[in-house]
Structure 1
Amino acid sequence: MSKLIKEFCAENYTDIPLAIHQGANRIELCDNLAVGGTTPSTGVIEEALSYAGEKHIPVMVMIRPRKGDFIYNDIELKIMHTDLIEAKKLGVDGVVFGCLTPSGWLDEEALETLIEASEGLEITFHMAFDQIPKEMQFTAIDWLVEHGVSRILTHGGPLSTPIEENIAHLAELIHYANQRLTILPGGGITYQNAEEIANKLGIHEVHGSNIVKLD
């Protein structure tokens, strides 16, 4: 198996140097991890890019204006668009976002606007994916592939469930995606179980805020 990419979910800058030292080889940068992550400040992005860049570690920045659901109004989408453009100007490697409709489907119009603004960057569709009804997730993968999304961050089920209970569904998603994009498991993956889960699923990328040992 090729080297496992351990994407460290960083709340602000504080733990990034230690995480990289401990083996994190990609950073998802956000603020407010207690609510699932929101957009970090410009200053945080600048410092994270400066440090990670010296170590040749890519940085993906969360674009999310608030806690709660992923159904955004026009003003919230305008905020996201502005934040995304600013992050791009700073030189981020990728962005992380997700938008849904009240029915639980992809907000195609909002996503098309953000994807267009993300040209040249890697795009991760975040765990909003887990709010899509399971029977519609395969069609969602097709749509995201067609629109150039690089990866989908997913727990494979409700976050309240242990990730081990979701291995079967994650395997179905990985099989269906068929390397057209990367299914990136997260939520409950730690430095203690990352290798085992990666081996079970036959994958090369895992995600978590505890993906490397920090103490």
Structure 2
Amino acid sequence: MSRITLEVCVDDVAGLVAAAEGGADRIELCAALEVGGLTPSRGLMVRAAALDLPVLAMIRPRAGDFVYDAAALDVMRADIDAAREAGLTGVVLGASRPDGRLDADALAALVAHSAGLELALHRAFDLVPDPLEALEMAVSLGFARILTSGGKTTALAGVETIAEVTRAAAGRISIMPGSGVRLDTVSELLARTGAHEVHASCSVPHVPADPRVAALGFASPLARRTDRTTVAALRRALDGSSAS
């Protein structure tokens, strides 16, 4: 088996360093991972572009659902421009209709604006009523991969759907399991899905040294930090799976 790609999501400079030193193959660059990731700042994009790794920026202007109006789409186009100008590899996109289906018109506009950048479809995919229909749309729009937990809270819980979508994709697009990908779940995920890449936070809880930071609302109680040791351990596990 060929080497399995490890994508690590990070939301600060320390996370960039931890992911790179731990052995990540690719980085999903975000802000606010505690709400699933938002668009990172331009400064963080520039810093990430200096790494000798592919980096894709999350393009998500707010927390919540993925139903965007014209004003939000304008913001997203400007953020795509920022990612390109910073020298990043690509962007991570998603847009939904109110019924959960992918918004073909919004995605087509964003994809067109992303010309020259690598494209990943984020977990808006996990809200769709028909994953196979959404798969075909993603293929037709030119996405390189789909990040999915199979519509469940963790990839292991959604493993059957991930496997079904992977079979239907038939190599036309990569299906990348994400959410709850850890040392104790990754081997089963790989065995049951046939995935060639995985997405993980490799994070540990982060408690500010000064308790006033959280008490005054400056930090989320859900805050976590990318952990170099965890990245390295998952990298070793993936290398073991590749060799078997």
CA distance in 2, matches of 1:158, 1:71: 20
Closer, same or farther: CA 27–191 of 1 in aligned 2, 3 Å = farther
The equivalent position to 2:59 in structure 1, one of 60, 63, 76, is 63
1:113-139 CA deviation, whole Å, 9 max, x = no partner? Answer: 110011111111100100111xx2111
- The 5 A counterparts of 1:1-215 are 1-50=1-50, 52-53=51-52, 57-133=53-129, 136-159=130-153, 162-210=154-202, 214-215=228-229
- Displacement after TM superposition at 1:13 (Å): 1.9
1:183-215 CA deviation, whole Å, 9 max, x = no partner? Answer: 110000024432442233222100010188534
AA at the equivalent of 1:149: F
CA distance in 2, matches of 1:24, 1:108: 32
1:55-81 CA deviation, whole Å, 9 max, x = no partner? Answer: xx1001000000000001111110001
CA distance in 1, matches of 2:45, 2:132: 33
1:149-189 CA deviation, whole Å, 9 max, x = no partner? Answer: 11110001222xx4322211111010011111011100000
Q: Secondary structure at the match of 2:39?
A: coil
- Stretch of structure 1 that moved more, 113-122 or 13-22: 13-22
- Stretch of structure 1 that moved more, 144-153 or 192-201: 192-201
Larger Rg: 2
AA at the equivalent of 1:25: D
CA distance in 2, matches of 1:70, 1:78: 14
- Displacement after TM superposition at 1:6 (Å): 0.5
State whether residues 191 and 213 of structure 1, in contact with CA within 8 Å, keep that contact through their aligned partners in structure 2.
no
Q: Secondary structure at the match of 1:124?
A: strand
- Stretch of structure 1 that moved more, 205-214 or 142-151: 205-214
Task: Give 2:217's aligned residue.
Answer: none
CA distance in 2, matches of 1:191, 1:120: 35
CA distance in 1, matches of 2:38, 2:10: 11
Q: Secondary structure at the match of 2:156?
A: helix
CA distance in 2, matches of 1:45, 1:86: 8
Closer, same or farther: CA 44–63 of 1 in aligned 2, 3 Å = same
CA distance in 1, matches of 2:9, 2:139: 24
TM-score by length of 1: 0.91
AA at the equivalent of 2:157: E
CA distance in 1, matches of 2:94, 2:175: 15
State whether residues 99 and 110 of structure 1, in contact with CA within 8 Å, keep that contact through their aligned partners in structure 2.
yes
AA at the equivalent of 1:72: Y
- Displacement after TM superposition at 1:14 (Å): 1.5
Structure 1: gaps (5+ residues) = none
Q: Structure 1 runs of 4+ off > 3 angstroms?
A: none
Cα RMSD of the aligned pairs, angstroms, is: 1.5
Q: Secondary structure at the match of 1:164?
A: coil
